[in-house]
Protein backbone atom coordinates (compact mmCIF):
# COMPACT_ATOMS: atom_id res chain seq x y z
CA UNK A 1 0.00 0.00 0.00
CA UNK A 2 1.11 3.60 -0.61
CA UNK A 3 3.19 5.03 2.26
CA UNK A 4 4.49 8.53 2.98
CA UNK A 5 8.16 7.61 2.48
CA UNK A 6 9.76 5.55 -0.27
CA UNK A 7 13.26 4.11 -0.04
CA UNK A 8 15.31 2.66 -2.85
CA UNK A 9 17.82 0.19 -1.42
CA UNK A 10 20.74 -1.01 -3.55
CA UNK A 11 22.10 -4.33 -2.28
CA UNK A 12 25.30 -5.79 -3.71
CA UNK A 13 25.42 -9.21 -5.29
CA UNK A 14 28.32 -10.03 -2.98
CA UNK A 15 25.96 -9.68 0.00
CA UNK A 16 23.85 -12.50 -1.42
CA UNK A 17 26.62 -14.78 -2.72
CA UNK A 18 30.39 -15.00 -3.02
CA UNK A 19 30.02 -16.73 -6.37
CA UNK A 20 30.55 -20.18 -4.89
CA UNK A 21 27.60 -20.31 -2.49
CA UNK A 22 25.10 -23.17 -2.58
CA UNK A 23 21.40 -22.53 -3.11
CA UNK A 24 20.82 -23.01 0.61
CA UNK A 25 23.57 -20.56 1.53
CA UNK A 26 22.17 -17.96 -0.87
CA UNK A 27 18.69 -18.41 0.60
CA UNK A 28 20.10 -17.84 4.09
CA UNK A 29 21.69 -14.62 2.87
CA UNK A 30 18.40 -13.57 1.31
CA UNK A 31 16.80 -13.87 4.75
CA UNK A 32 19.50 -11.55 6.13
CA UNK A 33 18.63 -9.05 3.41
CA UNK A 34 14.96 -9.42 4.33
CA UNK A 35 15.75 -8.31 7.88
CA UNK A 36 17.11 -5.05 6.46
CA UNK A 37 13.96 -4.47 4.46
CA UNK A 38 11.89 -5.20 7.57
CA UNK A 39 13.62 -2.32 9.39
CA UNK A 40 12.35 0.10 6.74
CA UNK A 41 8.90 -1.49 6.47
CA UNK A 42 8.44 -1.18 10.23
CA UNK A 43 9.21 2.53 9.86
CA UNK A 44 6.37 2.87 7.34
CA UNK A 45 8.42 2.87 4.13
CA UNK A 46 7.55 1.56 0.72
CA UNK A 47 10.74 -0.08 -0.53
CA UNK A 48 12.27 -0.76 -3.92
CA UNK A 49 15.08 -3.31 -3.76
CA UNK A 50 17.69 -3.15 -6.52
CA UNK A 51 20.12 -6.04 -6.16
CA UNK A 52 23.47 -6.66 -7.79
CA UNK A 53 24.44 -9.89 -9.52
CA UNK A 54 28.21 -9.77 -10.06
CA UNK A 55 29.06 -13.13 -8.47
CA UNK A 56 25.89 -14.82 -9.71
CA UNK A 57 26.01 -13.75 -13.35
CA UNK A 58 29.64 -14.83 -13.61
CA UNK A 59 28.83 -18.29 -12.29
CA UNK A 60 25.72 -18.51 -14.48
CA UNK A 61 27.80 -17.75 -17.54
CA UNK A 62 30.41 -20.35 -16.54
CA UNK A 63 27.61 -22.92 -16.25
CA UNK A 64 26.54 -22.03 -19.79
CA UNK A 65 30.05 -22.63 -21.08
CA UNK A 66 30.28 -25.92 -19.19
CA UNK A 67 27.14 -27.06 -20.96
CA UNK A 68 28.91 -26.81 -24.33
CA UNK A 69 30.59 -30.14 -23.54
CA UNK A 70 27.14 -31.74 -23.81
CA UNK A 71 26.38 -29.84 -27.04
CA UNK A 72 24.03 -27.48 -25.20
CA UNK A 73 24.28 -23.99 -26.78
CA UNK A 74 25.24 -21.40 -24.14
CA UNK A 75 23.10 -18.36 -23.45
CA UNK A 76 24.72 -14.98 -23.94
CA UNK A 77 25.64 -12.72 -21.03
CA UNK A 78 22.51 -10.58 -21.47
CA UNK A 79 20.24 -13.59 -20.96
CA UNK A 80 22.40 -14.72 -18.04
CA UNK A 81 21.44 -11.38 -16.49
CA UNK A 82 17.80 -12.30 -17.01
CA UNK A 83 18.32 -15.67 -15.32
CA UNK A 84 19.88 -14.04 -12.27
CA UNK A 85 16.99 -11.55 -12.00
CA UNK A 86 14.60 -14.48 -11.70
CA UNK A 87 16.91 -16.46 -9.40
CA UNK A 88 17.73 -13.68 -6.95
CA UNK A 89 14.29 -12.08 -7.18
CA UNK A 90 12.65 -15.38 -6.25
CA UNK A 91 14.86 -15.82 -3.19
CA UNK A 92 14.47 -12.23 -2.01
CA UNK A 93 10.72 -12.17 -2.58
CA UNK A 94 10.18 -15.39 -0.63
CA UNK A 95 12.52 -14.31 2.18
CA UNK A 96 10.85 -10.90 2.55
CA UNK A 97 7.34 -12.38 2.52
CA UNK A 98 8.23 -15.03 5.09
CA UNK A 99 10.00 -12.51 7.31
CA UNK A 100 7.23 -9.90 7.35
CA UNK A 101 4.02 -11.89 6.82
CA UNK A 102 4.21 -13.27 10.34
CA UNK A 103 3.33 -9.78 11.58
CA UNK A 104 1.58 -8.40 8.48
CA UNK A 105 -0.42 -11.21 6.81
CA UNK A 106 -1.55 -9.01 3.91
CA UNK A 107 1.98 -7.85 3.09
CA UNK A 108 2.78 -8.09 -0.63
CA UNK A 109 6.05 -8.24 -2.58
CA UNK A 110 6.44 -8.04 -6.35
CA UNK A 111 9.47 -8.89 -8.51
CA UNK A 112 9.80 -7.18 -11.90
CA UNK A 113 11.94 -8.32 -14.81
CA UNK A 114 13.71 -5.12 -15.87
CA UNK A 115 15.31 -4.25 -19.20
CA UNK A 116 17.50 -1.17 -19.31
CA UNK A 117 18.51 0.87 -22.33
CA UNK A 118 22.20 1.65 -22.83
CA UNK A 119 24.08 3.45 -25.61
CA UNK A 120 25.52 1.08 -28.21
CA UNK A 121 28.48 3.48 -28.56
CA UNK A 122 29.20 3.58 -24.83
CA UNK A 123 33.01 3.50 -24.39
CA UNK A 124 32.55 0.85 -21.68
CA UNK A 125 32.18 -1.77 -24.41
CA UNK A 126 35.85 -1.22 -25.25
CA UNK A 127 37.00 -0.85 -21.63
CA UNK A 128 35.58 -3.58 -19.35
CA UNK A 129 35.61 -2.63 -15.65
CA UNK A 130 32.74 -4.53 -13.97
CA UNK A 131 33.95 -7.52 -11.88
CA UNK A 132 31.76 -10.62 -12.14
CA UNK A 133 32.00 -14.19 -10.95
CA UNK A 134 33.94 -15.62 -7.99
CA UNK A 135 37.18 -14.31 -6.56
CA UNK A 136 40.15 -16.31 -7.86
CA UNK A 137 43.68 -16.91 -6.65
CA UNK A 138 46.48 -15.86 -8.97
CA UNK A 139 46.92 -19.46 -10.07
CA UNK A 140 43.20 -19.91 -10.73
CA UNK A 141 43.11 -16.65 -12.67
CA UNK A 142 46.00 -17.76 -14.87
CA UNK A 143 44.24 -21.06 -15.59
CA UNK A 144 40.98 -19.30 -16.51
CA UNK A 145 42.83 -16.83 -18.72
CA UNK A 146 44.51 -19.72 -20.52
CA UNK A 147 41.12 -21.35 -21.15
CA UNK A 148 39.38 -18.10 -22.14
CA UNK A 149 42.12 -15.84 -23.55
CA UNK A 150 39.59 -13.23 -24.74
CA UNK A 151 38.44 -12.57 -21.16
CA UNK A 152 39.76 -9.60 -19.18
CA UNK A 153 40.83 -10.56 -15.65
CA UNK A 154 42.09 -8.08 -13.06
CA UNK A 155 43.12 -7.96 -9.40
CA UNK A 156 40.10 -6.69 -7.43
CA UNK A 157 40.87 -4.43 -4.45
CA UNK A 158 43.27 -6.88 -2.81
CA UNK A 159 40.59 -9.57 -2.50
CA UNK A 160 41.67 -11.76 -5.42
CA UNK A 161 41.28 -11.84 -9.18
CA UNK A 162 38.02 -11.57 -11.12
CA UNK A 163 36.78 -11.36 -14.66
CA UNK A 164 35.68 -7.89 -15.76
CA UNK A 165 33.07 -7.16 -18.44
CA UNK A 166 31.65 -3.99 -20.05
CA UNK A 167 29.47 -1.93 -17.74
CA UNK A 168 27.62 0.62 -19.89
CA UNK A 169 25.86 3.56 -18.28
CA UNK A 170 22.09 3.02 -18.03
CA UNK A 171 19.94 5.53 -19.91
CA UNK A 172 16.40 4.39 -19.19
CA UNK A 173 14.78 1.69 -17.07
CA UNK A 174 11.80 0.19 -18.88
CA UNK A 175 8.55 0.63 -16.92
CA UNK A 176 10.26 2.53 -14.08
CA UNK A 177 7.49 5.14 -14.03
CA UNK A 178 4.93 2.42 -13.29
CA UNK A 179 6.72 1.32 -10.11
CA UNK A 180 5.17 4.13 -8.07
CA UNK A 181 1.71 3.04 -9.22
CA UNK A 182 2.48 -0.53 -8.20
CA UNK A 183 2.79 0.62 -4.58
CA UNK A 184 -1.00 0.96 -4.59
CA UNK A 185 -1.08 -2.83 -4.20
CA UNK A 186 2.45 -3.94 -3.27
CA UNK A 187 4.57 -2.89 -0.28
CA UNK A 188 8.00 -3.94 -1.57
CA UNK A 189 9.11 -4.11 -5.19
CA UNK A 190 12.23 -5.87 -6.45
CA UNK A 191 13.34 -4.24 -9.71
CA UNK A 192 16.41 -3.43 -11.77
CA UNK A 193 18.08 -6.64 -10.64
CA UNK A 194 21.72 -6.88 -11.61
CA UNK A 195 21.45 -3.35 -12.97
CA UNK A 196 18.92 -4.59 -15.51
CA UNK A 197 19.10 -6.59 -18.72
CA UNK A 198 21.02 -4.35 -21.15
CA UNK A 199 19.46 -3.49 -24.50
CA UNK A 200 20.38 -1.01 -27.24
CA UNK A 201 18.04 0.94 -29.49
CA UNK A 202 17.98 0.52 -33.26
CA UNK A 203 17.43 4.08 -34.55
CA UNK A 204 16.15 2.86 -37.93
CA UNK A 205 12.93 1.34 -36.57
CA UNK A 206 13.00 2.23 -32.85
CA UNK A 207 13.31 -1.42 -31.80
CA UNK A 208 15.68 -2.87 -29.20
CA UNK A 209 18.13 -5.75 -29.05
CA UNK A 210 20.01 -7.47 -26.25
CA UNK A 211 23.67 -6.62 -25.74
CA UNK A 212 26.31 -8.29 -23.58
CA UNK A 213 27.39 -6.43 -20.46
CA UNK A 214 26.54 -6.01 -16.80
CA UNK A 215 25.12 -2.64 -15.77
CA UNK A 216 26.14 -1.31 -12.38
CA UNK A 217 23.12 -1.71 -10.12
CA UNK A 218 23.84 1.52 -8.21
CA UNK A 219 23.47 3.58 -11.39
CA UNK A 220 20.22 1.82 -12.25
CA UNK A 221 19.00 2.26 -8.68
CA UNK A 222 19.56 6.02 -9.04
CA UNK A 223 17.42 6.15 -12.19
CA UNK A 224 14.62 4.33 -10.41
CA UNK A 225 14.95 6.55 -7.32
CA UNK A 226 14.73 9.65 -9.50
CA UNK A 227 11.75 8.41 -11.52
CA UNK A 228 9.64 7.40 -8.51
CA UNK A 229 10.70 10.49 -6.49
CA UNK A 230 12.11 8.39 -3.65
CA UNK A 231 12.55 10.15 -0.32
CA UNK A 232 15.54 8.00 0.69
CA UNK A 233 18.32 6.31 -1.27
CA UNK A 234 20.43 3.67 0.47
CA UNK A 235 23.52 2.22 -1.17
CA UNK A 236 24.67 -0.77 0.86
CA UNK A 237 28.28 -1.90 0.73
CA UNK A 238 30.76 -3.89 2.82
CA UNK A 239 31.86 -0.97 5.00
CA UNK A 240 29.96 1.10 7.57
CA UNK A 241 30.94 4.36 5.86
CA UNK A 242 33.07 5.72 3.04
CA UNK A 243 36.73 6.63 3.46
CA UNK A 244 39.34 8.34 1.34
CA UNK A 245 42.90 7.00 1.14
CA UNK A 246 41.32 3.64 1.95
CA UNK A 247 43.73 1.16 3.53
CA UNK A 248 46.52 3.72 3.85
CA UNK A 249 48.04 5.31 6.98
CA UNK A 250 46.26 8.59 6.16
CA UNK A 251 42.83 6.96 5.72
CA UNK A 252 40.03 9.39 6.57
CA UNK A 253 36.42 8.47 7.34
CA UNK A 254 33.65 10.48 5.67
CA UNK A 255 30.34 10.75 7.51
CA UNK A 256 28.69 13.87 6.07
CA UNK A 257 29.82 15.40 2.79
CA UNK A 258 28.39 17.73 0.19
CA UNK A 259 27.98 16.98 -3.49
CA UNK A 260 30.85 19.36 -4.21
CA UNK A 261 33.17 17.52 -1.83
CA UNK A 262 32.16 14.14 -3.25
CA UNK A 263 32.90 15.31 -6.79
CA UNK A 264 36.33 16.52 -5.69
CA UNK A 265 37.18 13.15 -4.14
CA UNK A 266 35.97 11.39 -7.29
CA UNK A 267 38.17 13.59 -9.47
CA UNK A 268 41.14 12.84 -7.22
CA UNK A 269 40.69 9.13 -7.87
CA UNK A 270 39.74 7.99 -4.37
CA UNK A 271 36.89 5.77 -5.57
CA UNK A 272 37.67 3.00 -8.14
CA UNK A 273 35.35 2.55 -11.12
CA UNK A 274 34.60 -1.08 -10.33
CA UNK A 275 33.71 -0.66 -6.65
CA UNK A 276 32.94 2.54 -4.70
CA UNK A 277 33.01 4.89 -7.70
CA UNK A 278 29.53 4.09 -9.06
CA UNK A 279 28.05 4.37 -5.55
CA UNK A 280 29.44 7.87 -5.08
CA UNK A 281 28.34 8.88 -8.58
CA UNK A 282 24.81 7.57 -8.00
CA UNK A 283 24.60 9.28 -4.61
CA UNK A 284 25.78 12.58 -6.09
CA UNK A 285 23.23 12.44 -8.93
CA UNK A 286 20.41 11.62 -6.52
CA UNK A 287 21.28 14.56 -4.27
CA UNK A 288 21.68 16.91 -7.24
CA UNK A 289 18.47 15.99 -9.05
CA UNK A 290 16.12 15.46 -6.10
CA UNK A 291 17.61 17.57 -3.32
CA UNK A 292 17.48 14.47 -1.13
CA UNK A 293 20.17 12.74 0.86
CA UNK A 294 21.84 9.52 -0.23
CA UNK A 295 23.26 7.21 2.42
CA UNK A 296 26.12 4.75 1.94
CA UNK A 297 26.57 2.17 4.70
CA UNK A 298 26.60 -1.58 5.34
CA UNK A 299 23.88 -4.01 6.33
CA UNK A 300 24.69 -3.86 10.04
CA UNK A 301 24.17 -0.11 10.29
CA UNK A 302 21.09 0.71 8.22
CA UNK A 303 19.08 1.50 11.37
CA UNK A 304 21.91 3.65 12.74
CA UNK A 305 22.17 5.42 9.38
CA UNK A 306 18.50 6.38 9.56
CA UNK A 307 19.27 8.09 12.87
CA UNK A 308 22.48 9.69 11.50
CA UNK A 309 24.66 7.67 13.88
CA UNK A 310 26.61 5.89 11.13
CA UNK A 311 27.04 5.80 7.38
CA UNK A 312 28.10 8.42 4.85
CA UNK A 313 25.46 11.00 3.96
CA UNK A 314 25.81 12.88 0.66
CA UNK A 315 23.70 15.98 0.11
CA UNK A 316 23.70 19.41 -1.54
Mean pLDDT of 73-78: 85
46: in domain: yes
140: in domain: yes
250: in domain: no
Mean pLDDT of 101-107: 89
Q: How many CB atoms lie within 10 A of CB 138?
A: 10
Query: What is the residue-averaged pLDDT of the chain?
Result: 91
Number of independent structural domains in the chain: 1
Please provide the DSSP assignment of 104-154 as one string: -TT--EEE---EEEE-TT-GGGGS--EEEEEEE-HHHHHHHHHH-TTSEEE
Q: Does residue 60 or residue 204 have the better pLDDT?
A: 204
Residue span of the structural domain in which 26 resides: 5-230
Which one from 196, 279, 285, 298 is the annotated catalytic residue? 279
Q: How do residues 134-153 score in pLDDT, each as one tens digit? A: 788 999 889 888 888 888 89
Identify the pLDDT of residue 102: 87
Which one from 14, 53, 81, 298 is the annotated catalytic residue? 14
- Give the pLDDT band (50/70/90) at residue 224: very high
Dihedral angle of Cα 221, 227, 230, 235, to the nearest 10 degrees: 10
284: in domain: no
Highest mean pLDDT among 97-106, 129-138, 218-227: 218-227
Active-site residue 13, yes or no?
yes
pTM of structure: 0.89
249: in domain: no
- Give the pLDDT band (50/70/90) at residue 47: very high
Which one from 12, 133, 217, 298 is the annotated catalytic residue? 217
126: in domain: yes
Active-site residue 217, yes or no?
yes
Determine the Cα–Cα distance for residues 92 and 51; give it in Å rounded to an integer.
9
Burial of 158 (0-12, 13-18, 19+ CB in 10 A): exposed
Count the helices and strands in the chain (H runs, E runs).
10, 17
Residue 68 reports pLDDT greater than 70: no
51: in domain: yes
Is beta strand 294-298 parallel, antiparallel or unpaired with respect to 256-258?
A: unpaired
Which one from 12, 19, 38, 130 is the annotated catalytic residue? 130
- CATH assignment at residue 129: 3.40.1160.10
259: in domain: no
Helix (H) or strand (E) holding 142: helix 138-147
Which one from 13, 52, 213, 292 is the annotated catalytic residue? 13
Closest-CA residue to 281 (of 291, 299, 302, 267)? 267
Determine the Cα–Cα distance for residues 253 and 246; give it in Å rounded to an integer.
9
Q: Residue 242's beta-bridge partner residues? A: 254
Active-site residue 58, yes or no?
no
Amino acid sequence: MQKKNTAVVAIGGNFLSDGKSTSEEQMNRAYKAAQLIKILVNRDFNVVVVHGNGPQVGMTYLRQLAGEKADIPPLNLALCNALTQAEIGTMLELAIINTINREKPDFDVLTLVSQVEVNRNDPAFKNPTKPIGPFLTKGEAEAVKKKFPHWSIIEDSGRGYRRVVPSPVPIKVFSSTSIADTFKTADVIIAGGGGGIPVVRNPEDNTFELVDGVIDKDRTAYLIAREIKATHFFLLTSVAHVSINFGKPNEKSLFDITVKEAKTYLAEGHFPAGSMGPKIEAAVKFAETTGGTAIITNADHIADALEEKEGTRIHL
